[in-house]
Amino acid sequence: MNRNSDWMQRDLASLWHPCTQMKDHETLPVVPIRRGRGVWLEDFEGQRYLDIVSSWWVNVFGHANPRINARIKSQLDELEHVILSGFTHQPVIELSERLGRLAPEGLGHCFYADNGSSAIEVALKMSYHYWRNVGQPQKRRFLTITNGYHGETLGALAVGDVGLYTDTYRSLLLDVIKVAAPDGFGLPREQWVEQARARFAEMEQALARHADELSAVIVEPLIQCAGGMRMYPPEYLTWLREACDRHGVHLIFDEIAVGFGRTGTLFACEQAGVRPDFLCLSKALTGGYLPLSVVMTTDEIYAAFYDDYETLKAFLHSHSYTGNPLACAAALATLDIFEQDDVITANRGKAALMGRLAEPLRDHPHVGDVRQTGMVLAIEMVKEKSSLTPYDFRERRGLRVFRHAISRGVMLRPLGNVIYWMPPYVISDEELELVAEVTREGLEIATADA
C-alpha cells in the first residue's frame, strides 16, 4: 500500500488545516512529510521537496540542524517547562540578555508569548495600557498602513489590512486608522524613495489629525510579507520614527517575519538607524523549531507599569508556555549560529545570486514586477504588463505554479499571484538554480492561456 495515501486519508478524516479551503483537497493531495534534512523535506515514499518558503518563513538553518538539535536535547534533560510568573530559568534569562545586546539600543526588557499574533496582541495592549497608566486614557486608537498583516487573532487582525483575512470578521474588529502603504510595486528600485515620500504625506497628516487619540503606529518594516511581499525603502521608517516622536505616539515594528537576517541585516529597522518603542519577534527566533515570540520594549514603558500592586498598573497578560525553556534553548542555539558563522555576510552572496537568477523573468509578458530585499524575492504575475492589471483571484494562477513545482520536488507556495523565494540560509547555489528553473517552468504553465 502507498504509505503517502494512507497518511493522506487519515489526515483528511481528522484534521482541519490552517489557511486552507479543505474542499481543495478533493483534488489537491496533502503532502505527508516524514522527515527533514537541511533545505529538503521527504515524504513517506522517499520523494523530496526543496523547502524554498522555509516552512512558513521560520526555518533559517535547515531542518534537523545538528547544533540546534543538540542544544534542545541538552535542555530537555534539565528542564522542559516551568511557570514564568514568580519563577525563572537560565535559558530565558540568557536569551533576554542576548536579545538586549543585539536589538537597537534601549530595548532592554523582554516580554514573551507563544507566537507572532500573540506578540502583536501584547504590544497593542501594552501601548494602550502605558497611556492609561500615565494619565492619558484617551490614547486608545491605532494607525497602520494598507495591505499590512500582523496575525489572525482579533487584535492583530484589526491592525492588518489583507481583506482575505479581515473582511469576514470586520464587525468584530477595532476601529483602526489606515493610510496608503509606501510600497514601490511596478517601479524601478531607484524610484522607491520618491514613491515612499509621496505616500508619507498621508501618514503625516493622519498623525497630526489624530495624535491626541493615538496610542501607536504599527508597521512591518521593509516588507509586507502576507500582503504579497510588497516592499518599501528604509527611509520611510526614518521619517515615521521622527513623526511619531513629534506627535507623541508609540511606534511598533512587527519584525516577526522580517527579523533575523531576512532583509540583509539582523533586524530590518537597522537599515533605517531607528529604534521602535516595541519590537515584535518570532518565527526565525527559534530557527523554526518551537513556538516562541517576544516583545522588546524600553525602560520608560517598563517603568510606567512598575508600582505598588494596589494601583492596578501591572501588565496582567500571560500565556501558559511563556518563555518555555526548550524554545529558549532553540533560540540561543540559533543566535549562536548567527554569531559563529557570520550569517549576515554569507547571505549577501546568496541574495545576489537570487537576484541574478530572477532577473531574466522581468522580461516575461506576464510578470509585472520582480522585487527583492535581502533574502526575500518576489515575482508578481499580472494579466496585462503595461497597466499592471492583475489576474482575477478566482483563476488561481498561483495554484498552478504550486502544482507544477511540487511535481518537480520544490515547495513553492505562492501568495495569490505572487511567486516568492524565502529560503533557509543554508541553501546551496545549485539548489537556488533548481528553484529558478522550476519557477520559470511554473510561470509558463500558469500564464499559458492568458
**DSSP letters spanning 419-446:** EEE---TT--HHHHHHHHHHHHHHHHHH
Is 350 part of any known ligand binding site? no
Is 283 part of any known ligand binding site? yes
Is 313 part of any known ligand binding site? no
The amino acid present at 93, given as its one-letter code, is: I
Nearest to residue 205, comparing CAs of 173, 247, 171? Answer: 247
Is 183 part of any known ligand binding site? no
Is 319 part of any known ligand binding site? yes
Is 178 part of any known ligand binding site? no
Is 341 part of any known ligand binding site? no
CA dihedral 110, 113, 115, 121 (to 10 degrees): -90
Distance of CA 263 to the CA centre of its chain: 11
Name the DSSP class of 390: P
Is 57 part of any known ligand binding site? no
Helices and strands (H and E) in the chain: how many: 14, 15
What is the rounded distance in angstroms from the CA atom of residue 78 to the CA atom of residue 59? Answer: 25
357-361: long-range contacts (C-beta < 8 A, 24 or more apart)?
357/432, 357/433, 357/435, 357/436, 358/421, 358/436, 358/439, 360/440, 361/439, 361/440, 361/443
Angle at 142 between CA 138 and CA 147, to 5 degrees: 165
Please enumerate, by residue number, every residue annotated as part of a binding site for pyridoxal 5'-phosphate: 116-117, 254, 319-320
Annotated binding site for substrate: 56, 149, 283, 318, 413
Known binding residues are 56, 116-117, 149, 254, 283, 318-320, 413
